[in-house]
Structure 1
Amino acid sequence: MKYKQLTRKERYQISCLKRIGLKKKVIAKILGRHVSTIYRELKRNKDPRGYYYHSKAHKFAVSRRKNNGRRAIRISETTWGYITYKLEEQWSPEQISYFTGVSHEHIYQYIYKDKQQGGNLYVNLRQKRGHRRNKRLSRYQNRGRIVDGLRIDTRPNIVEKRGRIGDFEVDTIIGGNRKQALVTIVERKTGLALIKKVERKTAEEVKKAIISLLTNIKHRVKTITSDNGLEFAEHKAIA
């Protein structure tokens, strides 16, 4: 079986699960990865002090791949299938790139190649390159994404610099049965990790889990950052 590179999201999950003390074999089982992949990741992409932070680890890995020379990029059919599914769910190439590790430029090339071959993936783009948005597609704009969510680049710079306590990142890890999930919350500066299991990855269940995890420290919460998954659609109720 061909090896598939870890994504940024998987590195975030590894970081969360490691912080609560789970063994590498358990982390591998949760992520559906071989245990050697987890061992190698934690060994190769830790910082000079020996700590593993998902954001730094991802930068290390990307930099290493670039330094290995320009080689043809091979993307599995499974990954392209996932990309196609998310495009049809109205995800942007930039969003898909974040979770797959495939550059958004490759995804755009894939879309326009599909168009040249008579496909219609291009109609799912929120704004087509070089053209005004097609008004007939407006009814699709809110499918598969959070309504009234704030862009990540609008949050204060101090959050990105980890300059204070109180800025949290929230995510979900899907269980092996594809129904149950773990809701993970990590404080960016201290690395504090909070995790709660939910029976279903619905917006309502995830909302309850987040509120439950943060209730005792709600006075310290300044920001909460999530991706655009629909399980976070109740973000206003959490705020």
Structure 2
Amino acid sequence: MSYKHLTIKEREILMFLRAKGLSIRAVALRLGRNPSTISRELKRCAGNYSPSKADNDYHQKRQNCHKKRLLDSHPQLRRQIVHYILDLHWSPEQITARFNKEHQWCVSYNTIYRHIYQHNLGEKYSSRGDTGIQRHLRHKHRTRHSKNTRRHREVQTDYISIHERPGFINQRQRIGDWEIDTVIGRTGHSILLTVVDRLSRLTLIKKVVQKDSQEINKGLVELLGAIPKEFVHSITPDHGTEFLHLDEISERLGVGRLQI
């Protein structure tokens, strides 16, 4: 399984658990991560650990080390690939084999396909696929789907929009306005429900069995039920399907309608 860097939520939980005195191995177990991942994260951020600073540093380093695409750096390579496809009617697989045989370029056929579908060969083609360089491909490559593609799911419509919340909530002027989220471990088997007060940043964490609305509501009642009612005013979730039925929470907690 490929290594994935910690998210900002995981970094916040890391700070909270370390402040509570948990060992690196115990923190890793809670987050569903390898202990070496947690150890590397703490070593990179010597001194007082700051989740926001650690996250900013990571994204800055990633931006600085971003490499320019191969075909952008070598226009002569792009022209050569276009010639092979348009004039000789070669497939990307044949082009790669030719490059490997003659030791000209180290470029995979997947890279060539990617540049074709991203319109990066200087030969635009229509959305119908009837013109341009794609039409000259001898075989159709498998369809590529964006990582941001998501399945259609039930839409939440009966809660107050985050843009319509009172200003004092957005400005974090009182204790009792909570943000809720779920964190899934790298293996997908460990699921944590996190509840964070927007002003004090007090963080409550509970491990849940599965990521569905019934289990999440049960966990929220347990976490927020331990808080005095005068300190539970509103909750703000993300748009996950596990938060679709939060209207049940106000009744079970015995407090007024919570603003979502």
Q: TM-score range by the shorter chain?
A: 0.5 to 0.7
Does structure 1 residue 184 correspond to structure 2 residue 181? no
**Aligned residues: CA RMSD:** 4.1
- Shift of residue 153 of structure 1? 4.8
1:227 aligned residue (227, 238, 242): 238
Cα distance in 1, alignment partners of residues 187 and 149 from structure 2: 31
Cα distance in 1, alignment partners of residues 171 and 45 from structure 2: 20
Provide, for residues 29-58 of structure 1, a one-character-per-residue CA deviation record: whole Å limited to 9, x for no partner.
333433232133234457x8x253x34432
Partner of 1:133: none
Residues 31 and 190, structure 2, Cα contact 8 Å, conserved in 1:
no
Does structure 1 residue 71 correspond to structure 2 residue 67? yes
Partner of 1:27: 27
Cα distance in 2, alignment partners of residues 56 and 159 from structure 1: 24
Q: Which SS does the other structure have where 1:191 is aligned?
A: coil
Residues 13 and 173, structure 1, Cα contact 8 Å, conserved in 2:
no
Letter in 1 for 2:33: R
Provide, for residues 201-222 of structure 1, a one-character-per-residue CA deviation record: whole Å limited to 9, x for no partner.
3211211211221123232123
- Shift of residue 60 of structure 1? 3.3
Q: Which SS does the other structure have where 1:39 is aligned?
A: helix
- Shift of residue 15 of structure 1? 3.8
User: Percent identity among equivalent residues?
Assistant: 39
Partner of 2:224: 214
Partner of 1:204: 214
- Alpha carbons of structure 1 residues 159 and 45: separation in structure 2 relative to 1, 3 Å: farther
Residues 195 and 203, structure 2, Cα contact 8 Å, conserved in 1:
yes
Give the TM-score normalised by structure 2.
0.53
Does structure 1 residue 169 correspond to structure 2 residue 179? yes
- Alpha carbons of structure 1 residues 188 and 18: separation in structure 2 relative to 1, 3 Å: farther
Cα distance in 1, alignment partners of residues 194 and 162 from structure 2: 18
Partner of 1:40: 40
Cα distance in 2, alignment partners of residues 174 and 70 from structure 1: 27
Letter in 1 for 2:239: N
Give the number of aligned pairs.
184
Letter in 1 for 2:67: R
Provide, for residues 179-234 of structure 1, a one-character-per-residue CA deviation record: whole Å limited to 9, x for no partner.
66332212233232222333333211211211221123232123322222211112
Cα distance in 1, alignment partners of residues 207 and 45 from structure 2: 28
Cα distance in 2, alignment partners of residues 178 and 37 from structure 1: 16
1:41-190 → structure 2 map (5 Å cutoff): 41-45=41-45, 50-52=48-50, 54-66=51-63, 68-71=64-67, 113=118, 119=143, 121=145, 143=153, 146-149=156-159, 151-155=161-165, 159=169, 162-174=172-184, 178=188, 181-190=191-200
Cα distance in 2, alignment partners of residues 120 and 149 from structure 1: 35
Residues 32 and 187, structure 2, Cα contact 8 Å, conserved in 1:
no
Letter in 2 for 1:5: H
Mark the runs of 5 or more structure 1 residues left unpaired by the alignment. 74-108, 127-139
- Shift of residue 25 of structure 1? 1.2
